[in-house]
Amino acid sequence: MAEVVRMPKMSDTMTEGVIAKWHKKVGDKVNSGDLVAEVETDKATMDFESFQEGTILYIGAEEGQAVPVDSVIAVLGEEGEDYKSVLNGAETPSAEKKEDTSGNEAKSEKPQAAAEDKPAASSVTPESLGATVIRMPLLSDTMTEGVIAEWHKKVGDKVKSDDTLADVETDKATMEVTAYAEGTLLYIGVEKGQAAKVNDIIAIVGKEGTDVSALLNAPSADSNKTEGKASDETSAAPQTAQKTDATPGDEQKEKAQSDSDSRVKASPLAKKIAKDKGINLSDVQGSAEGGRIVKKDVEGFTPSTKQVAEAAPKAAQPSAASQSVTIPQYIGEEKYTEKPVTQMRKTIAKRLSDSLFTAPHFYVTMSIDMDNAITARSKMNEFAPVKISFNDMVLKAVAVALKQHPNVNSSWLNDKIRYNEHVNIGVAVAVDEGLLVPVVRFADGKSLSHISAEVKDFAQRAKTKKLQPSDWEGSTFTISNLGMFGVDEFTAIINPPDSCILAVGGIQQVPVVKNGAVVPGNIMKVTLSCDHRTVDGATGAAFLQTLKALLEEPVRLLV
């Protein structure tokens, strides 16, 4: 049976697309996944792949022609099949929609027709088709959406229950999604590099040849409402901002150019590029059908000498009084690069914003004499199986101090405070995409060598994206160390649900007073960020006193 192919919505702001190039013509065979056309949107020129199979019976838009989203651009079916009834049926809903305002009689008929169709659509379930719907899984406690990093299967491939379907980039790591069904991969709903919310359909597996379009053509009304509302709000915001920033003179100029551009036939992307470059579309010659201006016309446009001269500001001409002063002219170009926000960066932004604007932070800073710690570390590394760092010593000292100050080792739970009797210390590790905080569990009972080996393993696995959710969950206190970057001191944002985070600076050689004499010293500054809902100033200061005593006499860490 013939099926219509519609213009897809390829971005959240797309309202129409221009067929930049057809890769298939009427009569050509099309397989699922074949590149059918290139579509120029308001943001980029993108490949349009078919998820249907058959022969192209009809092409409804020529190259260079603009087509509204959801309009019919082609019909696929069996060779020689009559497609006109399908084509007319696809166009009928829009006509009925226009006639809907003619009277009460038409209004009453339409709900009845919808009511009759609704049970048929709702009766189709994956079980009735013998298919299994694969949804975006919840791979961590903070995950709200995932990005498909790589597909290991394509439509038409055979799938076993233990096969890896795809790699999914979450807010913390890249993890595998395993198929829990056997059959043929019938549908892929999210392309590589695109994001899908948790529980969204990403694939369908079933018997070869099964038509799953009925499962896909049933979006909920709530989701449509939400998308529409979000789209309206998104588009309204930039317009408001532009109105506020523009001066009356600028508004008149922009309005004149906008009116001129609106009368010119041009693609959405061509209009956007022209606006960014300040090009008047009336001066550009279109190369597409009917003189329509497309992307390549704007990018290849070179203004004439007359246009450049007219655009030069009159104020640049020196007055008679200032002709003796020559100011060199420098012409620069404003540039920037925009990249999509990664899942990790989204989570960092959300969690730390929630922490800073919800938890009342206060900060306590203390200087620690590290002379004895330097000597002790050198001696310990002569016998230790792994090299012990100053960060390892700070972590061990924090673990011991937390056992003596349980109020610091706590969590705010709105109507109660949890005092943790175990000590799990999160260690902030910088990676290319942002920050991960693997947890050293029961750190108070581990030796310095054990802590050192565990932290090094965490750092290595974090950089290669091999950490699992169990590695970064369950911290009761966090340490962030920037000393290796030459930072003297800094303040850190609390990592919820912890009550405190310790910011560790570098060891600085400075003059200090000992026994009434000024001598060289090695000083390290640490700053404790505290949640004032659970920790008071005196409590935070007492904790730092204990930490200072432990690091200034490291032998106490061994007993």
Apex CA 334: angle with CA 333 and CA 336, to 5°? 130
- The closest alpha carbon to 377, from 390, 386, 367, 391, belongs to 390
Residue 388 contacts residue 380 (beta carbons within 8 Å) = yes
Mean pLDDT of 114-137: 66
Structure tokens at 229: 């509302």
CA–CA separation, 431 vs 444, rounded Å?
A: 27
237: three-class secondary structure by DSSP: helix
Please tell me the predicted confidence (pLDDT) of residue 226.
Answer: 43
User: Around 480, how many Cα atoms within 13 Å sit in the side-chain half-sphere?
Assistant: 19
* Integer angstrom CA distances of residue 276 from 261, 330, 494: 13, 21, 41
Please tell me the predicted confidence (pLDDT) of residue 181.
Answer: 78
Active site annotation includes 536: yes
Of 178-192, 227-241, 247-261, 322-336, the range with the lowest mean pLDDT is 227-241
Q: Of 144-153, 260-269, 521-530, where does the model show the most confidence?
A: 521-530
CA–CA separation, 364 vs 373, rounded Å?
A: 22
In DSSP terms, 145 is beta-bridged to 197
Mean pLDDT of 121-144: 75
Please tell me the predicted confidence (pLDDT) of residue 359.
Answer: 95
Mean pLDDT of 523-530: 97
Query: What CATH number labels 3-89?
Result: 2.40.50.100
Model confidence at 553, pLDDT cuts 50, 70, 90, reads very high
Q: How many Cβ atoms are within 10 Å of 490's Cβ, its own excluded?
A: 15
**Does residue 554 have a cis peptide bond before it, meaning omega lies within 30 degrees of 0?**
no
Please tell me the predicted confidence (pLDDT) of residue 503.
Answer: 97
Taking every pair of Cα atoms in the chain, the longest distance, rounded to a whole number of angstroms, is: 103
Q: 143-164 burial by CB neighbour count: b if 16+ within 10 A, else e?
A: bbbbbbbebebebeeebeeebe
CA–CA separation, 448 vs 392, rounded Å?
A: 6
Active site annotation includes 532: yes
Q: What is the pTM of this model?
A: 0.51
Of 124-128, 396-400, 519-523, the range with the lowest mean pLDDT is 124-128
Of 36-50, 310-324, 417-431, the range with the lowest mean pLDDT is 310-324
φ/ψ of 285, rounded to 5, equals -90, 125
Of 91-95, 304-308, 353-357, the range with the lowest mean pLDDT is 91-95
- The closest alpha carbon to 521, from 531, 508, 533, belongs to 508
- CB-based contacts of 382-389 (< 8 A; 24+ apart in sequence): 384/448, 384/449, 384/452, 385/449, 385/453, 386/449, 386/452, 386/453, 386/456, 387/452, 388/448, 388/449, 388/452, 389/452, 389/455
Structure tokens at 65: 């022609």
Model confidence at 515, pLDDT cuts 50, 70, 90, reads confident
CA–CA separation, 189 vs 417, rounded Å?
A: 44
Is the pLDDT at 104 greater than 50? The verdict is no
Q: Per residue in 66-86, pLDDT tens?
A: 888 888 888 888 888 888 877
Please tell me the predicted confidence (pLDDT) of residue 409.
Answer: 96
Average pLDDT, the chain: 80
Is the pLDDT at 22 greater than 50? The verdict is yes
122: three-class secondary structure by DSSP: helix
Q: How many Cβ atoms are within 10 Å of 551's Cβ, its own excluded?
A: 25
Higher local confidence (pLDDT), 422 or 174:
422
Model confidence at 313, pLDDT cuts 50, 70, 90, reads low
Please tell me the predicted confidence (pLDDT) of residue 115.
Answer: 40
Give the rounded percent of residues in the chain with a pLDDT score beyond 90.
35
Number of helices followed by number of strands (H, E) in the chain:
15, 26
CA–CA separation, 413 vs 204, rounded Å?
A: 41
Please tell me the predicted confidence (pLDDT) of residue 141.
Answer: 62
Please tell me the predicted confidence (pLDDT) of residue 223.
Answer: 46
Is the pLDDT at 442 greater than 80? The verdict is yes
CA–CA separation, 139 vs 174, rounded Å?
A: 10
Q: Do domains 3-89 and 345-557 have the same CATH topology?
A: no
24: three-class secondary structure by DSSP: coil
Q: Per residue in 59-71, pLDDT tens?
A: 988 888 888 888 8
Please tell me the predicted confidence (pLDDT) of residue 321.
Answer: 47
Higher local confidence (pLDDT), 328 or 392:
392
Is the pLDDT at 110 greater than 80? The verdict is no
Higher local confidence (pLDDT), 215 or 441:
441
Q: Give the domain ranges of the chain.
A: 3-89, 126-207, 345-557
Please tell me the predicted confidence (pLDDT) of residue 135.
Answer: 86
The helix (H) or strand (E) run that includes residue 147 is: strand 145-151
Q: At what angle do helices 248-262 and 268-277 cross, to 10 degrees?
A: 150
Is the pLDDT at 120 greater than 50? The verdict is no
Q: Per residue in 343-399, pLDDT tens?
A: 888 888 999 999 999 999 999 999 999 999 999 999 999 999 999 999 999 999 999
Is the pLDDT at 249 greater than 90? The verdict is no
Please tell me the predicted confidence (pLDDT) of residue 325.
Answer: 81
Is the pLDDT at 513 greater than 60? The verdict is yes
Please tell me the predicted confidence (pLDDT) of residue 315.
Answer: 45
Is the pLDDT at 92 greater than 80? The verdict is no
Residue 393 contacts residue 551 (beta carbons within 8 Å) = yes
CA–CA separation, 497 vs 475, rounded Å?
A: 8
In CATH, the architecture of 345-557 is 2-Layer Sandwich (3.30)
CATH entry, 126-207, from 3.40.50.300, 2.40.128.20, 2.40.50.100, 3.40.190.10: 2.40.50.100
In DSSP terms, 134 is beta-bridged to 203
Of 208-212, 355-359, 395-399, 475-479, the range with the lowest mean pLDDT is 208-212
- Cα-atom radius of gyration of the chain, to the nearest Å? 32
DSSP string covering 247-291: -HHHHHHHHHHHHHHHTS-B-HHHHHHHHHHT--GGGSPP-SGGG
Model confidence at 106, pLDDT cuts 50, 70, 90, reads very low
Q: Of 158-162, 315-319, 539-543, where does the model show the most confidence?
A: 539-543
* Integer angstrom CA distances of residue 209 from 153, 435, 537: 17, 45, 69
Please tell me the predicted confidence (pLDDT) of residue 240.
Answer: 38
Amino acid at 224: N
CA–CA separation, 414 vs 420, rounded Å?
A: 16
